[in-house]
Structure 1
Amino acid sequence: MTVYYTKMREILCKIGMVNKMNNKKIKVLHLELDEHLGGIESFLYNLYNAIDREKVQFDFVSRSDNPAYKSELTELGANIFKVYSFKNPFKYMNDLKQIIKNGEYDIIHIHKNSAANILPFCVTNKFKNMKVFVHSHNTKPSVNGCTSVLHNINKKFLYDSANKHFACSQVAGEWMYGKNIKFRVLRNGIITSKYRFNKEKRKIKRQELNIPNSAFVVGNVGRFAEQKNQKRLVEVFDEVKKLNPNSYLLLIGDGNLKEKIQLYVKEKNIENVKFLGVRNDIPDLMMAMDVFVMPSLYEGLPIVGVEAQAAGLNLYLSNTISKETQLIDSVKWFDLNESNKRIAESIKIEMIDDEERKCRNDDVKNHGYDIEQTAKELLYEYEECLR
Structure 2
Amino acid sequence: MNKIVFFVTGLDSGGIENYLLRFLKYKATSFLKIIVYCKGGNGGQLENEYLKIPNVQIIKNKLSFFNPIDYINLTKYFKQHHFDTVCDFTGNFAGPILWSAKQAGIKNRVAFYRGSTDHFEKTFLKSQYNSFVKRLTYKYASSILSNSQAAFDFFYSKRRQDNRFKVIYNGVDSKQFEVGNQNLRQALNIPNHAFVIGHTGRYNPAKNHRVIVEVAEKLIKMHNDIYFILCGNGVKENLKDKVKELEIDSNVRLFENRSDIPVFLNSMDAFFFPSITEGQPNALIEAMIMGLPFVASDIEPIKETVGKNSYLLNPNDINGFVFILEDFYLKNVKRNSTLRDQTIKKFDYKERFNELYYVLVK
Helix, strand or coil: the match of 2:253? strand
Percent of matched pairs sharing the same residue: 23
TM-score by length of 1: 0.82
- Secondary structure of the structure 1 residue equivalent to 2:30: coil
* Match for residue 276 of structure 1 among 244, 251, 255: 255
1:84 matched to 2:66? The reply is: no
Q: Which 5+ residue runs of structure 2 have no aligned equivalent?
A: none
Partner of 2:143: 164
More off after superposition, 240-249 vs 163-172: 240-249
Q: Does 1:198 align with 2:180?
A: yes
Q: Secondary structure at 2:92's aligned position in 1?
A: coil
Shift, 1:174, TM fit? 2.4
Tell whether the 8 Å contact from 1:138 to 1:301 is kept in structure 2 after alignment.
yes
* Candidates 276, 287, 295, aligned match of 1:297: 276
**Shift, 1:92, TM fit:** 4.5
- Secondary structure of 1:308's counterpart equals helix
Please give the root-mean-square deviation of Cα atoms over the aligned residues, in Å. 2.5
Q: Which amino acid aligns with 1:138?
A: G
Measure the CA separation in 2 of the matches of 1:65 and 1:312: 36
Give the letter aligned to residue 169 of structure 1. Answer: S
Partner of 1:188: 170
1:145-156 pair list within 5 angstroms: 145-146=122-123, 147-156=126-135
The answer as to 2:194 corresponding to 1:218 is: no
Instruction: Report the CA distance between 1:235 and its aligned residue.
Output: 0.6
Written as runs of structure 1 = structure 2, the 5 A alignment for 1:1-387 is: 25-51=1-27, 53-55=29-31, 57-62=33-38, 63-77=40-54, 78-84=56-62, 86=64, 89-90=67-68, 92-93=70-71, 96-97=74-75, 99-112=77-90, 114-115=91-92, 118-146=95-123, 147-181=126-160, 182=162, 183-196=165-178, 198-199=180-181, 201-202=182-183, 205-255=184-234, 259-271=237-249, 272-322=251-301, 323-327=303-307, 329=309, 331-338=310-317, 340-347=318-325, 348-349=328-329, 351-353=332-334, 356-357=336-337, 359-367=338-346, 369-383=347-361, 385=362
Call closer, same or farther: CA 1:95–1:69 in 2, change over 3 Å.
Answer: farther
Report the CA distance shift for 1:274/1:247 in structure 2 as closer, same or farther (over 3 A).
Answer: same
Cα distance 1:116–1:372, how it changes in 2: closer, same or farther (>3 A)?
A: closer
* Greater RCO (Cα-Cα under 8 Å, separation 6 or more): 1
For structure 1, the 5+ residue unaligned runs are 1-24
1:164/1:317 CA distance change after superposition, 3 Å: same
**Deviation per residue, 1:256-302 (Å, 9 max, x gap):** x7634322212222222222111111111111112111121111211
The answer (yes or no) to whether the contact 1:37–1:278 under 8 Å persists in 2 is yes
Deviation at 1:382, TM superposition (A): 2.5
| 1:115 to partner: Cα distance | 2.0
Number of equivalences: 350
